[in-house]
Chains A and B, each alone.
Chain A
Amino acid sequence: DTAVSQTPKYLVTQMGNDKSIKCEQNLGHDTMYWYKQDSKKFLKIMFSYNNKELIINETVPNRFSPKSPDKAHLNLHINSLELGDSAVYFCASSQQTDQPQHFGDGTRLSIL
C-alpha cells in the first residue's frame, strides 16, 4: 500500500488555468507538508498542516491555497497558473513535526 500518494503524477496545462493537486496519507500521521522543487532541484517548504491546522505558511503567492479536509488529506489548489509555477511538487507527512517525513512521489507541473 502506498503510504503518501499524490495525484496526478504529471500535470501539463496552460498559463492562467486553475489546477489542484491531491495528497493522501494512510500512515495515521498528524502533520502534512507541501514542498516545491525547482529546476535546480532545490527543495523548499511551502505549507505545513498539523491536525488540519495551518502551522507553516512560507512566502508563497496567495494564488496557492492548501486545503486539509481531514488530517489524512492535504490538497494544493493553484489559481491563475504562471510559467514560474513549473516545478515538481512533493507532499509529505510525519507523525509529529519533529519526526521523520515520508514523501509522495511528486507531481511534475508544466505550464505552457
Chain B
Amino acid sequence: KNEVEQSPQNLTAQEGEFITINCSYSVGISALHWLQQHPGGGIVSLFMLSSGKKKHGRLIATINIQEKHSSLHITASHPRDSAVYICAVPSNFGNEKLTFGTGTRLTIIP
C-alpha cells in the first residue's frame, strides 16, 4: 500500500513569496493528484500528472517518478492562495483507489 508524506504540514508566508510544497510516496504510480481545499471546505482538483511538469497560472506541479517525489509551487503568492493543499496517489500501481496525504495548510499574510 502506498504511503504518502507531505511537507511541511503548515506553512505561513508573506504575500509575494515563492511557495514550495512537497509530496513523497513509497510505491510506483501511474499519476499523482494535487488538490486544494478552501477554508470553506470545498475541494478542487489542481493537477493530475504522471511525468515532468504542468503549469496553470501561478501554480506549477512537478513530478520525479524515479525519486517518487512531487512538488507544488506557487509563484507570487497571494492571500487567496491560503488553503490546504493535498497530494493523492493510487494505492498501488494501476489501482485508481487514491491514498491521500495529510495536507499542507498554507497561510499567506498580506
Task: Write the residues of chain A forming the contact surface with B, with a CB cutoff of 8 angstroms.
Answer: 40-45, 48, 56, 58, 88, 90, 92, 97-103, 105-106, 108
Contact = CB atoms under 8 A, between A and B. Distances in A.
Interface residues of B, number: 20
A56 B96 CA distance: 9
Contacts of A101: 33, 45
Contacts of A56: 96-97
23 contacts: A40-B102, A41-B103, A42-B100, A42-B102, A43-B100, A44-B100, A45-B97, A45-B98, A48-B96, A48-B97, A56-B96, A88-B41, A90-B43, A92-B43, A97-B96, A99-B48, A100-B33, A100-B48, A101-B45, A103-B35, A105-B41, A106-B42, A106-B43
Contacts of A108: 41
A103 B98 CA distance: 14
A100 B45 contact: yes
A21 B31 CA distance: 30
A42 B37 CA distance: 12
B84 interface: yes
A108 B40 CA distance: 12
Nearest to A92: B43
A106 B102 CA distance: 18
Contacts of B42: 103, 105-106
B44 A103 contact: yes
Interface in B11-63: 30-31, 33, 35, 37, 41-45, 48
A17 B1 CA distance: 35
A98 B96 contact: yes
**Residue from the set B35, B96, B98, B102 with the largest chain A CB neighbour count within 10 Å:** B96
B72 interface: no
B86 interface: yes
Contact of B31 (A45, A90, A98): A98
Interface in B59-109: 84, 86, 88, 96-98, 100, 102-103
Given A105-B42, A106-B41, A43 B86 contact: yes
